[in-house]
């Protein structure tokens, strides 16, 4: 791992500090926007009713609590490693560090799987009639090809898709503004809750809406390349989160004003329903294409992240070295890519959009709870430079909130817990297999840093 650059005398091999606050904020916004809002507005409506914006605001508040911990830790330790680095510094237990890193990796795969399911639904149906599962699997194959082609090609595709997905959400907001100006829709629906308990409905909706705000935690990996991470990163993180949630609330409000709750909750392309009934004309097929590209961007980002994490762990001899094999011409970790896509295929074949998104949230809630504890533990570790310090109540409340959202009180399906447990069990199995391999070859070299 490269050391942080703290002065003019940057050492060879260090990353260049070239990223300013505005670029950081744009990265946060771009990382958050994606499949979540395009696919899950309807599922959130199914949990809470017409007041879809409430779970999004609640999820933002809870995300901001955990974001405060990331802001402190990224400024304190401006290195590109994220949660695994913080857990390792706080507890120094290789197995715990590995499980956290593996949970982050698996959350990327479940997120990409949810995106694949969304891709094969109503948005794709605007162009071709295919079974949803077939469309999802074809989509995964396409994402795998782009991932295998190389990181340079993948990043270029990502930049283009980020612009397109943001444009699609602005279209929905414009439709909403036109509807309010012309007296269309039913604004009163935005204050209606489903019968059966407002609190439980909001909790269930918040757990799903949280999926739409995930991605902010990835931005810590840019801390090592930021010009002044201790000063700029907290402002960029909170500013980016604020911009994203403002867009989401406007989109959610538009959706519930123009489309009835039952139609939204039964659709795998809820924003397309908005376009169909809008008084402000916009070609449904064009919007469906934008949505498909947005969903594709989410899957691509997550599959790149997941495959590179597996590759990195293999290079550190934390998992079997076979996952570290790189293709001789494309210079991509093809074994890690195949491993992650194989898991995604299984998940897509056995889960639906809501269940896969909820599994992503569950895995990351456990990671976030750990990070919130880490920031408190690491208060004893003083560093020479000034950095943002979160008010103590924020990580404390963040840890409690993450634990509560991870519990079954949200109405989360038992299948989600089983799926998450099986995915973590795969990590434990890889860890044990690697321990056996390293032990047998101990005579030929020193075990890697994560091997014991």
* Per-residue pLDDT at 158 exceeds 80: no
pLDDT at 250: 93
Q: Residue 3's pLDDT band (boundaries 50, 70, 90)?
A: very low
Reported as a single tens digit per residue, the pLDDT across 226-270 is 677 667 778 888 888 898 899 999 999 999 999 999 999 888 888
Domain range annotation of the chain: 21-439
Output the CA torsion sign for 50, 51, 56, 62: negative
CATH 1.20.1740.10 for the 21-439 domain, yes or no: yes
Name the residue among 365, 41, 377 with its Cα closest to residue 217. 365
> What is the number of other CB atoms lying within 10 angstroms of the CB of residue 318?
29
Rounded Cα distance, 306 and 403, in Å = 24
The predicted model gives 376-386 an average pLDDT of: 87
Percentages (nearest 5) of helix, strand, coil residues in the chain: 75, 0, 25
Torsion angle defined by CA atoms of residues 40, 147, 419 and 33, in that order, rounded to the nearest 10 degrees = -20
Distances (CA, A) of 5 to 26, 354, 385, 402: 23, 42, 12, 33
Q: Residue 441's pLDDT band (boundaries 50, 70, 90)?
A: confident
Q: Residue 442's pLDDT band (boundaries 50, 70, 90)?
A: low
Instruction: Give helix 83-91 / helix 94-119 axis angle, nearest 10°.
Output: 160
- Contacts of residue 195, Cβ cutoff 8 Å, sequence gap at least 6: none
Query: For 9, what's the count of Cα atoms within 13 Å in the CB-facing half-sphere?
Result: 0
pLDDT at 76: 85
SS3 176: helix
Instruction: Give helix 284-315 / helix 334-350 axis angle, nearest 10°.
Output: 130
* Per-residue pLDDT at 151 exceeds 60: no
First to last CA, the chain: 18
Rounded Cα distance, 296 and 160, in Å = 11
pLDDT at 101: 87
Percent of the chain with pLDDT over 70: 87
What is the value of pTM for the model shown? Answer: 0.83
pLDDT at 13: 43
Mean pLDDT value across the chain: 83
* Per-residue pLDDT at 438 exceeds 50: yes
Q: Residue 348's pLDDT band (boundaries 50, 70, 90)?
A: very high
Percent of the chain with pLDDT over 90: 31
* Per-residue pLDDT at 80 exceeds 70: no
Q: Residue 15's pLDDT band (boundaries 50, 70, 90)?
A: very low
- Contacts of residue 393, Cβ cutoff 8 Å, sequence gap at least 6: none
Reported as a single tens digit per residue, the pLDDT across 170-192 is 999 999 899 888 888 888 898 88
Range from 157-161, 276-280, 350-354, 392-396 that averages highest in pLDDT: 392-396
Lowest mean pLDDT among 8-22, 54-68, 242-256, 369-383: 8-22
pLDDT at 103: 92
């Amino acid at each position: 791992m490269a050391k942080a650059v703290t002065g003019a005398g940057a050492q060879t091999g260090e990353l260049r500090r070239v990223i300013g606050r505005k670029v950081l904020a744009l990265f946060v916004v771009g990382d958050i926007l994606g499949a979540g809002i395009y696919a899950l507005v309807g599922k959130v409506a199914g949990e809470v009713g017409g007041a879809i914006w409430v779970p999004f605001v609640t999820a933002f508040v809870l995300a901001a609590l955990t974001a405060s911990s990331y802001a402190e830790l990224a400024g304190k330790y401006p290195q590109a490693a994220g949660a695994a680095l913080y857990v390792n510094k706080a507890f120094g237990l290789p197995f715990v560090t590995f499980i956290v890193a593996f949970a982050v990796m698996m959350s990327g795969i479940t997120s990409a799987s949810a995106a694949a399911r969304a891709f094969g639904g109503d948005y794709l149906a605007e162009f071709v009639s295919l079974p949803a599962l077939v469309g999802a699997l074809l989509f995964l194959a396409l994402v795998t090809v782009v991932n295998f082609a190389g990181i340079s090609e993948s990043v270029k595709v990502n930049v283009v898709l980020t612009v397109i997905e943001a444009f699609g959400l602005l279209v929905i907001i414009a439709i909403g503004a036109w509807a309010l100006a012309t007296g269309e829709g039913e604004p009163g629906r935005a204050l209606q809750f489903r019968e059966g308990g407002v609190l439980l409905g909001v909790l269930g909706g918040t757990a799903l809406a949280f999926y739409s705000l995930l991605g902010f935690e990835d931005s810590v990996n840019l801390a090592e390349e930021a010009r002044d991470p201790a000063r700029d990163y907290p402002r960029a993180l909170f500013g980016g989160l604020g911009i994203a949630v403002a867009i989401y609330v406007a989109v959610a409000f538009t959706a519930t004003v123009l489309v009835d709750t039952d139609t939204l909750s039964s659709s795998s392309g809820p924003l397309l329903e908005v376009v169909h009934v809008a008084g402000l004309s916009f070609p449904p097929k064009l919007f469906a294409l934008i949505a498909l590209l947005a969903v594709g961007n989410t899957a691509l980002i997550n599959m790149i992240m997941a495959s590179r994490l597996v590759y990195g762990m293999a290079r550190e001899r934390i998992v079997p070295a076979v996952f570290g094999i790189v293709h001789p011409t494309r210079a991509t970790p093809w074994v890690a890519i195949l491993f992650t896509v194989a898991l995604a295929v299984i998940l897509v074949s056995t889960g639906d959009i809501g269940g896969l998104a909820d599994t992503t949230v569950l895995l990351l809630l456990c990671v976030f709870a750990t990070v919130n504890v880490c920031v408190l533990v690491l208060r004893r570790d003083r560093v020479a430079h000034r950095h943002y310090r979160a008010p103590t109540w924020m990580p404390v409340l963040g840890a409690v909130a993450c634990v509560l959202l991870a519990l079954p009180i949200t109405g989360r399906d038992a299948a989600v817990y089983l799926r998450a447990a099986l995915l973590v069990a795969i990590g434990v199995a890889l860890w044990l297999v690697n321990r056996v391999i390293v032990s047998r070859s101990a005579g030929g070299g020193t075990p890697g840093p994560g091997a014991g």
